[in-house]
Structure formats: structure tokens, C-alpha cells
Structure 1
């Protein structure tokens, strides 16, 4: 009798030859010490089947087979013939053929897909498999086809119920080591295949013995999840000239590395060749996803596979696999292993057996995700200078103005264009005509999901005019501006007149002349930060700057619980925006510049290098860039990793700042832009990092003032709830206009700043492009 603990680790059957020394005694001990044992005598049926396969031309009838068997058994004791195999885990004692006859009969259906000589050669081969999920199917396929004489299996993990979506095993095996379960199932198919289990898995201490002890492996099959072991096993296999196979169960991808034929071949086809080997020891969580993406070449992966990668650790705990894909993968690996062992396949590379591509649905899938209504083509025409001139000439000239030289105007406008804008779209055009500077809205440039009701643009215009005031003051000029002189429907935002500093005229107040020094320093700072304390003096300075604009209110949240609660709201809004079809297209096609060269060439948008993301976040962003991935995530209510990104940003903040104006109007958003610019320049002066987190203020108005424009009903409902939560935390008026929401902290100054369009594309002087 076996103790339960022993029984849980046993995977080798007991094979007894009854007519050999102590054979009868061994069988009696098995029968006497195991109650309820099931005895199955399969010898006779197997022997008769053997007669049949040895006489293929005759096609023996049952009567003829019985006659041959009776002739054969004459003067024989049947119990002494063949072998008795006892399986302790199932308490079964089975009478079968001798080893040679058993193998002959079991492999008969391999002929002549595998010739007798080839089959004999395969019996001497050794194969090792690390990881027994996909590896379970691989091992069973290899064993069933009898492609080797010895199998080494390694996995520390145990069978769980969730494994049974793809592992063809029973409930009774839950809780048992995966190696043990696989080895037992192989032994029940063929007790003569030599099996060795590494039930503690593979580590740096036992990897060498796994590969060479008892004879060097002829093939290593990697199906483990451990990135460190994936790399270490390949490095050692390369040194030992052992070929390595890996199957991913996504698009049927099979990876083949023939280190036996190409000993100088870089591991994983050189994908990781620019990374030092020590990078693959104690891999950090933030480096894990990028490495996985590189290893499996995720750019060629299935969309559903990419969605699953993003949802690991969010809505699912690990990489999903389907029984059909695992079964197919097992077959593919077994097939290629056989051909490698028989010198019928000598290549390295990556191969795809993608059933969804091979057996493709040529008709539209009625269950596919329906596209949301995409924004129409940009309804606006590119900026028309002639129309701008016409508008400028329709205004009544100011009295007593001063006409700055063109060079002065260039300096002023260049400073103005350093103002922030959503997605760095720079929605302004400037016309200096009739000795007056005109600020126009280039609606063609600003048209986007992020500029609902021109809120974002008006904020940018206010910030730009604040810079005009500061720079003009530095140059000894007063400024008087007329805001929306032709109404809010006109593209003319402001008409700006200049006066000598000694001129007695009511001009725009200059809040902080010193702030002009920081116009070119002001930047969105997404660098890694730390939550340095904001002193009362510093906080008062920020508040004074923001509230220097009439009606503006500054709120500062430093309570950690409230900050995290706001962070979740902001993250949810970021997620809604990025999974919304229009928002996603806006972000991917218009806002982001995915390479430094692209950013430098366009001179607008957000340079991906300025995002301050770690490698894992960048890898996730590269996946979600695909609109189909975005739609799929939305359909499963996924993408919560986007919330985590925001929460991580909030966790290193000193505090969160909020600026509001009393009510929703174009003018208030313009004034809000002046307020946020004054505050931001003051923050730069105090050496604080400012990171706008503005998505709630761009999305909430779609619900409160836009009747859900551009949103589906679920998004509207979600945003309504989020806004209520926001107002429960931030003590602002229900009807207040949200102007600016940002993180403040200490961080290194960014090495890369957002580009600006050439001045010649934004400023026009006297109808001449400079």
C-alpha cells in the first residue's frame, strides 16, 4: 500500500514478467496489498490483433484468428506470457504483450508515414519538455506517435480546474503536479517509454542535468511561462547544440531554433541581441510585457491574443489558451519534432499555422463588433488668409495705437505660440495687418474629439494671449485686446492693439512681469516624479496666480485618499476617451507622433518620447494603437490597465490642482486659459513639474452641455456617474466651467519638449508669409 503523499508523486508503472524470478511473488504482493484492485487481461485480444497485422494480405476472420491463437497457446501458460503492468495511481493491473510485440502492434498504424527503420531510430531519441500546459498536448502527441524512447518533463505547477479548458485530463487529477499527470497518461498509453519528471520545475541549478543527464537531449521543447528560464535554457541549449522548439497557441505560431546545425545562431533569432544577458535575470514587472512581446513577435499575433495580453493582471490572471489551439499546437510540434529527428527538416524560423487565416470566413461575420459612428471628415477648410484679411479689414481701427516693427511682432507671436494646446495641435493663426495683431482660430487644425465645443482651443487662445501680454510688456509695450469682436461664431478670437508704455490707455493688466522668463521653459512634465511637499507659501503663490483672473478659483487636493479617488476618475475618463472610436482615432492618427523623426517633421502633436512611460506601458500602448484592439477591449469592458497608468501617475504627485470659472461660456474658457498659463508659469518659476490630466474636463461637457455628443449611452451613463463622484470630492459649483486639472510634483526637467510649427506657418504680416 502507498501513502497518499507517495501516491501523489508516483508516475512510473510496475512492470512484471510473471515467469521470471520473483515474478509470481511480485504479482501476489500487488494483489494482496491493494484492495479493490482492477485486473484487466488484455493479452489475448492484443495477441490476436498481432496475428492480423502480420497477415495483411489474408485479412483474417475472427474464426481464423481464434484458430491461430489456439494453435499458438498450446502447451503455454497464458498468465506467464507477456507482461503484467500495475498502475498504482489507478489501482489497475493489466496483462499485455511483451515490449517488442507491444511496440510493434502499437506503432503499426504509423507505417509507412514512418518507416520501420525510422521508427527504430526514433526509439533512441530523447526529448525534453519544459512547461506542461501546451506541453501536455505536445508530450501526449509525441508519446502517442512514439517519436522517442525517453521523455523528460518539467513543471512545478499543479492541475487546477481552470486548466481543464485545454488539458485533456480528468477532475480526479486536480491538485496533482502537471508532470505527474502527463507522465501517468503517457504510461497508460505506452508503459515502455522512459519518463523522467522534474516536479519542482527547471531552475538555474538543475537546467544542466535536465539537458544532458542520462544522455544529451535531441530536442528541447519550451512551453514554460518563466522568461528567465526561456532565455537561460536557450543559451545553454545553444552551447550544447540542442535544437529548441516553442509553440504559442496564438495563430499557431511555431518557433524553431536549429542550434544543432547553426551553433552561432543568436537565441530567439537575434530579437534580443541588443540586450545584455543579465537583463534576463530577475526581470522586473515593467520589463516583462515588452520582453514577452518581443519573444512572441506580438506584432504578428492575433488581435484577440493582443487583447488578452493587455488584460493579464486586469480581468484575467494569465495567458488564455483554447483546447483547439493547444491540441493543434501539440500536433504541429510533434510533426516538426519527428522531421527534425529524422533529418527531414533542417530550417530555423517562425511559422504560422493560423486556422483563422487558412479557413477564413469570406462573408461578413454577423457577430463581429460593430463600428461606432466615426467622426465625419473634417468639415472645415484649411485656413484662408484672404478671408482673414477680409475680416481684419472690416474692423474699426483703434485710436492712438503704436505700430511695432515686424521683428517685434515676430518675437511676440513666437512667445505666444509657446502656449499649451491639446495634443499640441496649435490651433492659432496670427495676422498682423492695419498695425493690429489678429488671433484667428484655425478650425481645420483643431477639429478633433478632444476639442468639444472649442473648449480646448479657447483655453489655448487664452494662454497664448497671456504670453502676448507678458512678452509685449517685456518689450515696453502695452496691450489692449478685444475678445470675440465679431461674436463667438467668427473665427476671429481676438484683435490686439499695441500702445507705448507711456501712453495713458486702459490696457490688459500684467499679473507677473517676471513670468515672461519662463515662457520657453513651460512644458508638460511626465518624467518620473516624487511627491515633494508644497509649502504654504508656494501654494499661496500658485493660488494667487490662478485667481488673478476675475472669477477663477483654484482648488488643491493633497489628501492621499482623495487624490487616489480622483485618479481613478481621471483614469476612467482616459479609458473612455481611448476606447471611444473617435477618441482612439484622434489619439492614434492625429495626436501621437510615434517616432522622434515623425514629431520633428510635423512639428506638432505629442512626441512619444515625452510620455514618460516605462517599457511595459509603451509596449501596451503599441498594442492598443490598433483600432480593432481598442474596439475589442471596449466590447469586453476591458482596458482597465489604462486606469492603472493614471493611478501610477497620481501616486507620485505632491497634489492635484483644479482651476474653474463660474460658468460655461467661450469667454470663460478663454479667461481660464489665461488663468492656467499664469499658474503654470508660476509653477515653472517654483521648479514644480506640471502634468495636465484634463480628460474629465473635456468629456464631462459632452454630457452636461452636449447631450452626449460623440458618446454611446453606456459612456454617457458612466461619465454621469464619474462626474457626480468628482463633485463629491472637489467643492465646485455644479455649473462651474472646468478649466484645468493637473498633477504637481518634483521631477527632472524633460530633455525633449514638444515642437512648434515654424513661425512662417502661423504668422502672416501684411498679407506676406514670412
Structure 2
């Protein structure tokens, strides 16, 4: 009796028993003890399947293809074979999991016949060489396809399978197994299928995956290892161990057929993952959540070369899907590609390290269709950027005033202003931007920025001992003329020093600290300096949570809208060099994002990804950042006006700047959260939008009005968050400014 080709190394006795159910029992027909075992199994009810004679006929015909044996000649050849080998030829294979006994050829003839159709794509000499090879496979999703294809071609004589997981129903979209195998170790399922295909092929199962305790047993003597596991730390540990032993590592990602080859047998100093991860310790990757894995996975597979559908799906992880999607077609392709590479590698053919693609989506594709691989983010057309940050010129107070005025806030840090030095003062003009979405409807967002820069200029003028008189123009893009005259005596405003501390605070503390009512009263007093400007504040946690839901829903709507998405992409300075050069936009480091969130934002920059989410009616997680920003706030504030004219919004912008500076004076951080306000205004004013957008925004408008006790006719100038942030305000400013002079 021979226990087939499968054995198991297991972590527990219970798991070992389960793994042993994957062993095939080979019982030789020429051994009486084995035949007694066969008779006992038959009596015990095992199904006996005896096709040995048909196998022998097939064997005879393949041995003499030139003769084209007819039935009689084939029967004569079988009789001659059995006369030579004896009537007790063959073996019975007992498959205990299916209670079957199957009679097969003995090993040499079985292997020869089973691989006969490989010839001469694989010659007999090459096949014999392959049978001496040992291949390890870690991870049995894509890895199962690899293992079964390797076994089917018999490109090795021993397979070592490592996976700690069991089969779940959600695996069956890509794993070749049945519902009766749910709950079984994946190693057992793969070993059973290999045993049913080829009971003589040796399979060793490592039921706890690639574990430190079994590393030596798993890797010793391997000729190649295939990495298809999900654990990032294990991927790194496996490569380090393989490199130290000179074992080549192969990997397929089941996306665009991407295949990595790392020839550590030829390149002992080759950096892991082609150097894409840098010097990362495996321990730092252990225990990461699915969300935390995203930036590391993107570093490994490359954001710019992953498929559009995969990138769109990444944004839905832990929203509408639990983890990475995989398709059976991609997994099957991965099994085929890896098997082909293993065969050529084992036969000593030239196989170079590197990354290779076998993109099925390109098959039959219209040559005029756009490429499936995107350019790196951002993909939206960037508007023309202005010159570098404003610098005060020596000797002219107007230069110093404009330098201070340029520190004012504006939507997307677009700085919609130009200052022109004229006789006796400064002219403020509206510098129009490329913004064209609902958020920029009728220039109201720009008016807020213009009001903020105007108020900053007035603060600066007083600080520099000048009286300033505002003379409104409202002609074309001319907004106001600020007449300047030297003042007698000191007239500086106490808020002036806060111009240099003011910044958007986007920290998201796990627990929000309260803000004193006296501080909120001080902010309200600053806003009410301007006739017609009103405020609302929320401090109740339940109310803030309800507002967070509204803001998150609005942000999702904003991102899914093509024009609003393009504006969002253009507002972000995607590199420090870009931001320093242009002095506009919001730099990435100012957004206070985790590595996973940065990765998600880069994925989101591709308009095609967003369009795909819109087509799928998904994107539930797109508003999460905005939601969390509000939900983690100590208080929320709204500056609003009963009027809705450009003058109302400009006045509101002046109020916003003073409120912001007063908040800084109290060591309170402020950050605008304005998408909801301007989307609701576009709804009220009949801005361009789809029926679905109208329906969603109508519900948000009702909830917003009820939550903040607002009238229907109004102008929502600025919604903002507040939280204690003394340390944040004294850090170096992350955003730069362009030259504000025309």
C-alpha cells in the first residue's frame, strides 16, 4: 500500500485530520495485502471504477502512432503487454473523501500516457527533466490555478502548497471546487484535485500557510516559488528567504495579466519587488487593514498600470465590497502564464527578471478606442497657473499690503483676485478662473475670496499706519478701489498678527474637545460687524453627526459630477514642486491624509474611474473624508445672509476672514467645508444639473434647513468646522501664494 503523492504538515491535530482526507491511497494489484484492502473497501460500499483495459488500449495506440492500430490490433497489443507484465498489473487508487476506488495504470505508464499530448511542445527529455523539479506555491486563490495547471502539464515532480485559509462560498467565483468542499482547507481542496488528476504526483501541504516555523521545510530544495498570498508581510518575508537561498520568485496579480519575475538565482542582490517598496521591514506590514494595504499594494503593482476597473473597485473596498475583486478568467490566465514561465525557467531557457503584462482587455479591441492604461494623476486638463508667490517690494506700502492680502483664503486656493497699483491706492479686480462646475455657479465662491482678500488688505493698511477707504466699482471685473492715505498715530487691528497663523486645520481627532461658548460668541461678534451677515453654530454631537451625513452625501455628488470632479483635480497641487512653482492650489501635504487616503485620492484623480463608479451607481465611500472631517469637529459654523447677491457674498467673505482670524486668536482651528453650500445654492438658483442630482440635493436642502433653522431664500456663504488647534496654527504654512499683482 502506498499513500499516494500527498502529505501534510499541520498546525493542530484537528487540522491534520482534515488534511489527511486529501491523501490518495495507492493499492498495488500485485500485492495480496493491498488487494485484501481493496476487497474490504468494496465490501464497505466504496464505488469501484475499473477502466484499466481502456487505459491500456489508449497506451498501446500512443506507443505506435504510425501503425494506427485498429481495435483488433490494439487488443492484441494489450494481451501481449499483460502477458509480459502479468495479469495482476495496475493499481487501485482509494479516494476516501469520495469513497471511490479507481483502477489505473502503474506509475511509469500512467505518467507517460497522461502527458503524451504534451509532446513535442515538451519533448520526452524535457518532460523527464521537469519531473525532477520542486515548485512551491504560497496562496491558493490564483495559486490554485497555478498548482492545477502545473500538475496538469506535470511540469514538476513535487508541489508544495501553502495556505492557512479555508474555502468560503465567496471564493467559488474563481476557485475550482464544489459547495461540498466549503470549510475545507484550501490546501486539501487543491491536493484532492491533483490526486484525482494524477495520484502519483507528490504534493506536500502546509496548512498554516508560509509560517516562520515551516519556512525551512517549505523552501528547502525548491527550484522556484510562486507567490500568490494576500499578506504583504508574508510576501516580503518569502522574498527575503528566497533571495538568501537563490530561489527565483514568480507572481501574477490577476489584473491585466501582470506577472513579476525575480531571478534571485541569478541576481542575489536584486531588490525585492524590483525596488518598488524601498527598504520596508516585513514587521511594518503585518496586521494592516484592507484600507491600509491599498497604498502598499499600489506601490507594488503600480497605480499607473493597473486596470481601470481595479482602480474603481479599490474605492469601493469596505464600502460595497469586502476586499479586492478577482475574476476566474484573470485567475485562469495567471495560472497559464505562471506555468509557462515555470516550465521555461526549469528547462534553462532565457527568462529575464522584470514585469510583464498579458492584457485580455486588449483582445479584439477597437484600435481607435482609448488605451486601458491611464496616465498618472492628475488626468484633467490643468488651467494656466500664474507666477510665484507674492513678495513685498521694498519702499512701497502697497506692496506690503498686497503681500498680506494675498494670504487670504479662497476656494481651492484659486486666489480669484488681482491687485493693481494706481495713483493713490489699489484696485481690486476679479481674476476669473477655469472653474466651471456647480460650485462656481454665478461666481459666488469667487466673491467670498475677494471679500477675504479685501478685508486682509484693510487690516494690513491699518497695521502699516494708513487709512483705507473702499470705493465700490462693480464694473466688469473691477470690484473696488482702496484709497490709501497716511494716518496719524497707531491704528493697527488686534487681528493683524493672526493673518500669519491662519490656515485650514484638517486634523481628525478621535475625540473632539469642546469649545467655550465665549469663543463662539466672539466669532459671532466679528461676523455681525457686517450688516446682513448671520451665523449659526452647532455643538451638539448628534446634530454634528447629522450634518456630517449631509456633507458626505454632497461631497459624493460633487465628485461624481464630471465638471466638479475636474475642478477638484485642478485645485490640488499634486507635487510640492508644482505648488512652489505656481503658488496656487491645495498642496497634498496640507490635506492631512493618511497614506491610504493619498493613494485613494490619486486613484480618484482619473475621470474615467469616477465615470465608471457613476455608471455602477456606486461611490458610497467618496464622501467619507468630508464626513469624517465634520464628524470629528468640536463645533460647526455657518455664515449666511438673507440676500444672495454678489455683494452679499463679498460682504460674507470679509466676515469669514475676520471670524477665521478671531478663531486663530483663540487658538481654534477652522476649515471651510463648502461643497454642500454651493451645491444647494445651484439647486435653489436653477443651476445646470441632472434629475438625479436635483432629487438628491432637494433632500439635502430640506435636511440642511431643518438642522440649522434656515429660511428658504438665503445665501449660504461659508460652512466651516472648528476645533482646538494651538499647535497646528504655529506650524510652517503649507500653502504658497502667487504674485497677486496684475
TM-score by structure 2 length?
A: 0.90
1:548 Cα deviation after fit: 2.4
- CA-atom RMSD in angstroms: 2.8
1:572 Cα deviation after fit: 2.1
Partners in 2 of 1:655 and 1:276 — Cα distance?
A: 41
Structure 1 stretch 626-635 or stretch 465-474: which is displaced more?
Answer: 465-474
- Change in 2 beyond 3 A, CA 1:171/1:540: same
Aligned to 1:204: 212
What do the CA deviations read for 1:654-680 (whole angstroms, capped 9, x no partner)?
Answer: 121111111211111111111111100
- Change in 2 beyond 3 A, CA 1:580/1:568: same
Give the counterpart of 2:426 among 420, 430, 437.
437
Partners in 1 of 2:15 and 2:670 — Cα distance?
A: 63
Structure 1 stretch 494-503 or stretch 536-545: which is displaced more?
Answer: 494-503
Aligned to 1:53: 62
1:633 Cα deviation after fit: 1.7
- Change in 2 beyond 3 A, CA 1:77/1:502: closer
- Secondary structure of 2:639's counterpart equals strand
Partners in 2 of 1:462 and 1:201 — Cα distance?
A: 63
Aligned 1:298-309 pairs, distance under 5 A = 298-309=303-314
- Secondary structure of 1:129's counterpart equals strand
- Change in 2 beyond 3 A, CA 1:445/1:434: farther
Residue 538 (structure 1) aligned with residue 546 (structure 2):
no
Aligned to 1:557: 538
1:139 Cα deviation after fit: 0.8
Preserved CA contact (<8 Å) 1:524 1:692: yes
Preserved CA contact (<8 Å) 2:19 2:207: no
Structure 1 stretch 694-703 or stretch 3-12: which is displaced more?
Answer: 3-12
1:157 Cα deviation after fit: 2.1
1:71 Cα deviation after fit: 4.2
Partners in 1 of 2:85 and 2:164 — Cα distance?
A: 47
Residue 611 (structure 1) aligned with residue 620 (structure 2):
no
Aligned to 1:630: 610
Aligned 1:117-128 pairs, distance under 5 A = 117-128=125-136
Aligned 1:129-140 pairs, distance under 5 A = 129-140=137-148
Structure 1 stretch 472-481 or stretch 241-250: which is displaced more?
Answer: 472-481
Structure 1 stretch 53-62 or stretch 153-162: which is displaced more?
Answer: 153-162
Aligned to 2:27: 16
What do the CA deviations read for 1:108-128 (whole angstroms, capped 9, x no partner)?
Answer: 111111122221121121111
Partners in 1 of 2:461 and 2:643 — Cα distance?
A: 30
Partners in 1 of 2:585 and 2:121 — Cα distance?
A: 60
Give the counterpart of 1:251 among 248, 256, 271.
256
Aligned to 1:234: 239
Residue 98 (structure 1) aligned with residue 109 (structure 2):
no
Preserved CA contact (<8 Å) 1:478 1:501: yes
Partners in 1 of 2:120 and 2:663 — Cα distance?
A: 80
Structure 1 stretch 723-732 or stretch 329-338: which is displaced more?
Answer: 723-732
Preserved CA contact (<8 Å) 1:483 1:495: yes
- Change in 2 beyond 3 A, CA 1:237/1:485: closer
1:540 Cα deviation after fit: 1.5
Give the counterpart of 2:416 among 407, 427, 435.
427
1:555 Cα deviation after fit: 1.7
Residue 463 (structure 1) aligned with residue 459 (structure 2):
no
Residue 597 (structure 1) aligned with residue 568 (structure 2):
no
Preserved CA contact (<8 Å) 1:136 1:167: yes
Aligned to 1:393: none
Partners in 1 of 2:435 and 2:407 — Cα distance?
A: 16
Give the counterpart of 2:301 among 290, 296, 310.
296
- Change in 2 beyond 3 A, CA 1:377/1:317: closer
Aligned to 1:186: 194
- Secondary structure of 2:611's counterpart equals helix
Partners in 2 of 1:612 and 1:7 — Cα distance?
A: 49
Partners in 1 of 2:363 and 2:339 — Cα distance?
A: 20
Partners in 1 of 2:733 and 2:560 — Cα distance?
A: 28
1:60 Cα deviation after fit: 0.5
Preserved CA contact (<8 Å) 1:130 1:154: yes
Preserved CA contact (<8 Å) 2:57 2:78: yes
TM-score by structure 1 length?
A: 0.87
Preserved CA contact (<8 Å) 1:245 1:256: yes
Give the counterpart of 1:173 among 168, 181, 188.
181
- Change in 2 beyond 3 A, CA 1:283/1:122: same
Partners in 1 of 2:290 and 2:365 — Cα distance?
A: 37
Preserved CA contact (<8 Å) 2:641 2:715: yes
Partners in 1 of 2:714 and 2:210 — Cα distance?
A: 61
1:411 Cα deviation after fit: 2.1
Structure 1 stretch 123-132 or stretch 550-559: which is displaced more?
Answer: 550-559
- Change in 2 beyond 3 A, CA 1:567/1:204: farther
- Change in 2 beyond 3 A, CA 1:7/1:460: closer
- Secondary structure of 2:318's counterpart equals coil
Partners in 2 of 1:451 and 1:40 — Cα distance?
A: 76
Partners in 1 of 2:168 and 2:506 — Cα distance?
A: 42
- Change in 2 beyond 3 A, CA 1:4/1:208: closer
- Secondary structure of 1:142's counterpart equals helix
What do the CA deviations read for 1:76-113 (whole angstroms, capped 9, x no partner)?
Answer: 874x2200001111111011111111011111111111
The alignment of Structure 1 onto Structure 2 pairs a total of residues equal to 710
Aligned to 2:164: 156
Preserved CA contact (<8 Å) 2:315 2:622: no
Partners in 2 of 1:444 and 1:111 — Cα distance?
A: 68
Partners in 2 of 1:165 and 1:698 — Cα distance?
A: 44
Preserved CA contact (<8 Å) 2:386 2:739: no
Partners in 2 of 1:20 and 1:428 — Cα distance?
A: 96
Preserved CA contact (<8 Å) 2:149 2:339: yes
Aligned to 2:48: 39
Preserved CA contact (<8 Å) 2:465 2:486: yes
1:335 Cα deviation after fit: 0.5
Aligned to 2:529: 548
Give the counterpart of 2:721 among 734, 743, 752.
743
- Change in 2 beyond 3 A, CA 1:744/1:165: same
Aligned to 2:479: 493
Partners in 1 of 2:124 and 2:503 — Cα distance?
A: 74
Residue 724 (structure 1) aligned with residue 732 (structure 2):
no
- Secondary structure of 2:315's counterpart equals helix
Give the counterpart of 1:26 among 37, 49, 66.
37
- Change in 2 beyond 3 A, CA 1:183/1:305: same
Q: Which runs of 5+ in 1 are unaligned?
A: 366-373, 384-404, 504-509, 763-770
- Change in 2 beyond 3 A, CA 1:128/1:334: same
1:235 Cα deviation after fit: 0.8
- Secondary structure of 1:418's counterpart equals coil
Structure 1 stretch 636-645 or stretch 600-609: which is displaced more?
Answer: 636-645
Preserved CA contact (<8 Å) 1:568 1:646: no
Aligned 1:444-455 pairs, distance under 5 A = 444=433, 450-455=439-444
Partners in 1 of 2:172 and 2:112 — Cα distance?
A: 33
Preserved CA contact (<8 Å) 1:673 1:739: yes
